[in-house]
Amino acid sequence: MPLNLEDKRAIVVSVNAAASEALSAVVADYRGLSVADMTNLRHKARETGVYLKVVRNTLAKRAVAGTDYECLSDALVGPTVLAFSQEDPGAAARLIKDFAKDHDALEVKALAIGGVAYDAKDIDILAKLPTRDEAIAQLMSVMQAPVAKFVRTLNEVPGKFVRTMAAVKDQKQQEAA
């Protein structure tokens, strides 16, 4: 069923809003995936906070114009699915990469983060980015390490004193016996 002009405008506005708020984007070729596979992919995308949309390339090019993801315009050829990470920069890359492991038909064309387009082979770099919670945990452990070491060092002074006193006590008891 052909789209009328209002439907096309609504799609462009929707994708543009998602692209404007997105932290990263992945463009993939979904040719060969069944309807059930695409439904499963959409379901996983909703669970992980990824905006996933199959859009005509001309509409997608208009939608990403003026956003950080305008650099992906060259990759918008053939059947295309757009995945925008809304909460976590690596979410879309992880979703597409994990789904592509089980479905050879899903092929990554390009990805972008911060207005810079990357080749499809660089998806591992983006997919391995820590989630927000993981990044905070790593930061906290780095911040906690010097404090913990300082406390251990301070605790060593009385500990050494106690061990010295225990050694003197043991020595006195041996001399008395």
DSSP per-residue string spanning 156-176: HHHHHHHHHHHHHHHHHHHHH
135 and 124, same domain (yes or no): no
Q: What percent of the chain has pLDDT over 70?
A: 99
Which residues form the domain of 150?
131-177
Please compute the mean of the pLDDT values over residues 138-160 and round it to a whole number: 83
Question: Over the chain, what is the mean pLDDT?
Answer: 86
43 and 122, same domain (yes or no): yes
Nearest to 74 by CA among 53, 57, 52, 54: 57
107 and 56, same domain (yes or no): yes
pLDDT digits (tens, 9 = 90+) for 99-142: 888 888 888 888 888 888 888 887 877 777 777 788 888 888 88
34 and 53, same domain (yes or no): yes
Among residues 129, 147, 167, the one where a domain terminates is 129
- Kindly report whether the global pTM for this prediction surpasses the value 0.85: no
Using the predicted structure, report yes or no on whether residue 43 has a pLDDT greater than 90. yes
119 and 151, same domain (yes or no): no
Nearest to 98 by CA among 109, 84, 108: 108
**Total domains present in the chain:** 2
103 and 148, same domain (yes or no): no
The H or E element containing residue 28 is strand 24-29
Please say whether the dihedral angle defined by the alpha carbons of residues 21, 47, 28 and 125, taken in this order, is positive or negative.
Answer: positive
